[in-house]
Amino acid sequence: MITVRDLSKVYRTEEIETQALENVNLHIDEGEFVSIMGPSGCGKSTLLNLIGLLDAPTTGSIEIDGRRVDGMKDSHLAEFRNRTLGFVFQSFHLIPSLNVLDNVELPLFYRHVPSKERRRLAEEVLARVGLSHRMKHHPGQLSGGQCQRVAIARAIIGNPKIILADEPTGNLDSNMGAEVMNILHSLNQEDHRTIVMVTHNEEQARQTSRIIRFFDGHQIN
Amino acid sequence: MWKTYLRQIRYLLKENKFFSLVYILGTALSITMIMLILITYYINTANIGVEDKRDRMFFFTRAYVVKPGTDATGDKFYDGLQSSSPVGHKLIEKYMYPLKTPEAKSLVVNMQSVVYNKTKQVNEEMSAISTDADFWKMFSMRFLAGGPFSDVDVKSNARKVVIDESTARALFGKTDVVNYPIDIDWKEYRVCGVVEDVPSYLSDAYAHLWLPYTTATSRFFRGGNNDLRDIQGPAKMYLLGYERSDQELIRQEMEHQIQKLNAPAKKSHFTLNHQPDTALESLFRMSSDPYDKIYTRMQVVLVVIIVLLILPALNLSGLIVARMKKRGEEIGVRKAFGASVWNIMGQLFLENFVQMLIGGIIGLCLSCGLFQLVRNTLLVSYRTAGNDLSVKGVDVLNFFHIINFSTICYVILICFLLNLISTLLPAWRYARISIVEALNRR
């Protein structure tokens, strides 16, 4: 499902050059739930951003769902992200000026799905994450756990094959974190979605099918 | 899609009240300024009211006396200019009445006349126009009683007068007063017609009394040598073309006539200085400038309008940048979930356009209010300044006669242009920002 070859990422400023990732090679099969672990600054999130096509690698190639994605034009990348990938971020990244329904509908918005169909699908996924009663609320009116469940609903509404989660429980207490992990496991086991999750939590990582560890920009296992 | 955008715009308006207020008011004020300029332009140049042939009316208002061989352009014009003043009626009679190109040619002298009000037993000063029979072909006056004086009346110095409705009511208490006697400048005239009041902003036609100029030539006397006395005087001339494009043909014929006037031996020559003018050109003609200054003045006004448009746009652009900085995260999220650069730009354009449109509508209302407030000042053009105003004339000017469908379209166009100028750069810059960078902007 995801193949990464000789992937490197260097951040350059006028004064310094930082090697965030160096010669990373990995393959993730369809339906896997993979955890990426390592200390802060080791390049975990950078890898997730590159796989998620949110950033461009300095060298190397990425193949997702059988397609080479490096070198794609901006409009093609946008469409590919929209149809293939779903994101769950540590800090939720919900749009505060949109209500829950509008936030969840966002990926379908750019797919030009008719509004009634968008509404139906949004209600469906919000029911699945247990937030049917909060549809008209704005993110500022929700708890952290509820926000993350909205973010998961937004990630899955477009039925993407891959979900990329960057420390999805990092801002939540243990109970809410467990709830979010349960939802992610159900998405993996029931829907057979491929999930790549960056985490610091060893216990949560052990519940996934594979752990990939990083240190100083290198993959160490 | 639109509903979602509009819901978000409503939320943003409520959330950032101060920003929204500044943004909308800024737009409203610049729209107001532009609307007032448009209104002034419209009042002075469009075919409105009785002046419904302005698009093919031309104006010969100044007689320029220069040294022989003086070019009517550039700074050298001032070296050769000896004097400039309104036109002498004899010049018009002798050299301009024979013109064949115009459909109508009218000599006009604006003056103040003293009318004896028998009811109140007082003398009252009133705006009057001394003119000829062709004057009535220039304007679409509506006669309530009687009719205009004729060419024969003018040639025979007949003391006939056309008065407006207000004057008829003030002097006689009614409008059906044809053949009634009226004392004007201590001479007895007979009313030959009564017309509906002419609003004072229609300054070419506006007066309370219109009388044959031949009955008032004693008031046209001007000192100076004989040559100048014929050329310069108190008059001006309106020329009505068959077509808007007749201006150049009329000018050529007038130039031809002028050659007869300018004998080679004379020390002073007369120049048209590129007259006759259109209604717009006549607004920008000052007393003693070469004609190319008219276009310089028009350009200055155009630049002022553009600055009025661009300055607020630049300020608004700054406000948009400030808001974009706060919304970097949102742009990142939208791009992560599939928005292209064009989707983001389109959204930003729409958001700002809606706010500008609100500003535009407020601007229209403000200009309406301001228009009512400064109406009298605004409507007294320099051509009628100092004359008494017809109160009724001012009152009949309705803002909504000017604000028609095309004006609304102009406002929308101006909003669109303001939006384009103010949003283009920030929208382009922020729509192309890297997603990771945008997501990290909190």
Residue B123, classed as helix, strand or coil, is strand
Q: What is the Cα–Cα distance from B298 to A115, expressed in whole angstroms?
A: 52
* DSSP assigned state of B329: H
Residue B298 burial by Cβ neighbours in a 10 Å radius (0-12, 13-18, 19+): middle
DSSP-derived secondary structure letter, A20: E
Question: How many whole angstroms separate alpha carbon B100 and alpha carbon B181?
Answer: 37
Is it the case that residue B24 has pLDDT exceeding 90? no
Phi, psi (degrees; rounded to nearest 5) at A160: -75, 155
Of B8, B343, B436, which is closest to A97 when you measure between CB atoms?
Answer: B8
Contacts of B330 in chain A (CB under 8 A): 95-97
Q: Tell me, what's the pLDDT at B1? A: 66
Residue B383: predicted pLDDT: 39
Give the CA-trace dihedral at A54, A60, A64, A69, to 10 degrees: 60
- Specify the pLDDT at position B224: 57
Q: Give chain A's mean pLDDT.
A: 90
Structural tokens at position A193: 């979605």
Among B98-102, B214-218, B256-260, B390-394, the range with the most confident prediction by mean pLDDT is: B98-102
State the pLDDT at residue B442: 58
Q: What is the mean pLDDT of residues B390-403?
A: 54
Predicted complex ipTM exceeds 0.90 = yes
What is the average per-residue pLDDT within B51-55?
92
Q: Which of B337, B434, B442 sits opposite A110 (nearest CB)?
A: B337
CB contact at 8 A, A45 and A198: yes
For B265, residues 6+ apart whose C-beta sits below 8 A from its C-beta are: none
Chain A nearest-CA distance from B426, in A, is 19
Interchain proximity B7–A55, CB inside 8 Å:
no
Closest CB from A87, A94, A98 relative to B336: A87
The CA-atom distances, in angstroms, between B41 and each of A195, B283, B416 are: 67, 9, 22
User: Is there a contact between A54 and B435 if contact means CB atoms under 8 Å apart?
Assistant: yes
Predicted confidence at residue A163, as pLDDT, reads 92
| Band (B129; pLDDT cuts 50, 70, 90) | very high
The 10s digit of each residue's pLDDT in B375-390 is 655 454 433 444 444 4
The top-scoring range by mean pLDDT among B72-81, B120-129, B309-318 is B120-129
pLDDT of residue B265: 66
Taking the CA of residue A5 and the nearest CA in chain B, the distance in Å comes to 22
Are A109 and B436 a contacting pair at CB < 8 A?
no
The pLDDT of residue B393: 46
Interface contact A97-B341, CB threshold 8 A:
no
Stretch B326-337: mean pLDDT: 88
Mean pLDDT of B360-367: 86
Parts of chain A with a pLDDT under 70: 221
Q: Which residues from chain B sit within 8 angstroms of residue A78, using beta carbons?
A: 335, 338-340, 343
- Return the pLDDT at A34: 93
Q: Is the pLDDT of residue B264 over 50?
A: yes
pLDDT of B222:
58
**By three-state DSSP, how is residue B108 classified?**
strand
Q: Where are the beta strands (DSSP E) in A59-107?
A: 59-64, 67-68, 85-88
CB contact under 8 Å between A106 and B436, yes or no, is no
Q: How confident is the model at residue B187 (pLDDT cuts 50, 70, 90)?
A: very high
In this complex, do B337 and A54 lie within 8 Å of one another by their Cβ atoms? no
pLDDT at B349: 86
Mean pLDDT lowest among A86-90, B174-178, B438-442: B438-442
In chain A, what are the domains?
A: 2-219 (3.40.50.300)
- Tell me how close the Cα of A212 comes to any Cα of chain B, in angstroms: 22
Question: For the purposes of burial, counting CB atoms within 10 Å of the CB of B245, is it exposed (0-12), middle (13-18) or buried (19 or more)?
Answer: exposed
Task: Examine the pLDDT at B184 and tell me if it is beyond 90.
Answer: yes
Residue B78 has pLDDT above 60, yes or no: yes
> Given B3, B329, B439, which is nearest A115 (Cβ)?
B3
**B337·A154 Cβ contact <8 A:** yes
Residues in A closer than 8 angstroms to B5, CB to CB, are: none
Q: What pLDDT sits at residue B397?
A: 56
Task: Note the pLDDT of residue B21.
Answer: 85
> Which pLDDT belongs to residue A122?
94
The pLDDT-based confidence of B301 (bands split at 50, 70, 90) is confident
**Highest mean pLDDT pick, B70-74, B102-106, B284-288:** B102-106
Residue B382's pLDDT is 38
Cβ contact A97–B439 (<8 Å): no
Confidence at residue B355, expressed as pLDDT on a 0 to 100 scale: 83
pLDDT tens for each residue of B192-206: 999 999 887 788 999
Q: So what's the pLDDT on residue B160?
A: 96
Interface probe for A, chosen from B337, B347, B441 (most Cβ of A below 10 Å), is B337
Name every chain B residue with its beta carbon within 8 A of the beta carbon of A79: 338, 340
CB-based contacts of A94: which residues, under 8 Å, 6+ apart? A103, A139, A147, A150, A151, A154, B333
| Strand runs labelled E in B132-170 | 143-146, 160-164
Q: How far apart are CA B188 and CA A102, in angstroms?
A: 83
